[in-house]
Amino acid sequence: MQITVAGKQVSTSDALRSHVETGLGSITGKYFDHALEARVTFRKDAKGSNGGHYACDINIHAGRGLTMRGEGQGPDAQRAFDVAAEHVGKRLRRYRRRVNEHARSKAVERAPVETFREYMVAMDEEGDEAPEVNGAEHPAVVAEPLGELHRISVSEATMRLDLAGSSVVVFRNVASGSINVVYRRQDGHVGWIDPSGA
């Protein structure tokens, strides 16, 4: 597994990198034959809850379309990592059965993966769309990342939403064949949009 350790106003010593490699190896070894890559970012967090002065974000790419995210705070960088790693471990234990079922179904199902383009539109300070640029009728687009549109069930899309700590997952519903969306609502519950009505 390729592990990237970065610091934002925090130095990442060899001892910290070794601690991260050992901790991530232990976590991923329990749940996956192999994980592809992990990015661990440390930063100062003076406003952290529980008196933490350091924060750690872990993003693990564990397979095609399967990502996990964990975050933690602590009085030092190693403790912040330990809390974030525990967060990832709890999510994995909770979804272990579904992750294993997903891996088995992917071994059988070899449908081609569709891609989609996601656009991020520039906004002004009031939250309105940015003014026209060079007389164009559309606001400025500041990012165009490609995404993969996986053919999965609603429960698996919900699992991916939780594992990645993201706010939205777009997917092709395996039951109806239509494009669906699951998203995190403001009240903390998960919403599901199915245009087909199936």
- CA proximity to 150, closest of 195, 122, 114, 99: 114
**Which segment, 21-25, 29-33, 39-43, 60-64, is predicted with the most confidence on average?**
39-43
Give residue 129's domain range: 114-145
Instruction: Please report which confidence band the pLDDT of residue 123 belongs to, taking 50, 70 and 90 as the band edges.
Output: low
Same domain flag for 118 and 49:
no
Please state the domain count of the chain.
3
The pLDDT of residue 81 is: 94
Note whether 120 and 73 are same-domain residues. Answer: no
Domain with residue 103: its CATH number is 3.30.160.100
Q: With 80 as the cut, is the pLDDT of residue 139 above it? A: no
pLDDT at site 138: 57
pTM here is 0.57
Query: What are the DSSP calls for 129-188, one per residue?
Result: BPPPSTT-SSPPEEE--EEEE-EE-HHHHHHHHHHHT-SEEEEEETTT-SEEEEEE-TTS
Query: Can you read off the two tokens belonging to residue 60?
Result: 């693990």
Same domain, 94 and 6: yes
Distances (CA, A) of 3 to 14, 66, 71, 192: 13, 16, 16, 34
Claim to verify: residue 10 and residue 86 sit in the same structural domain:
yes
99 & 7 share domain: yes
Predicted confidence (pLDDT) at residue 18 exceeds the cutoff of 60: yes
The 10s digit of each residue's pLDDT in 165-176 is: 888 999 999 888
Across 53-61, average pLDDT:
89
- 185 in the same domain as 91: no
Over residues 140-163, mean pLDDT: 79
> Which of 21-25, 34-38, 72-76, 192-196 is least confident?
34-38
pLDDT at 9: 80
Per residue in 94-109, pLDDT tens?
Answer: 766 665 665 555 544 5
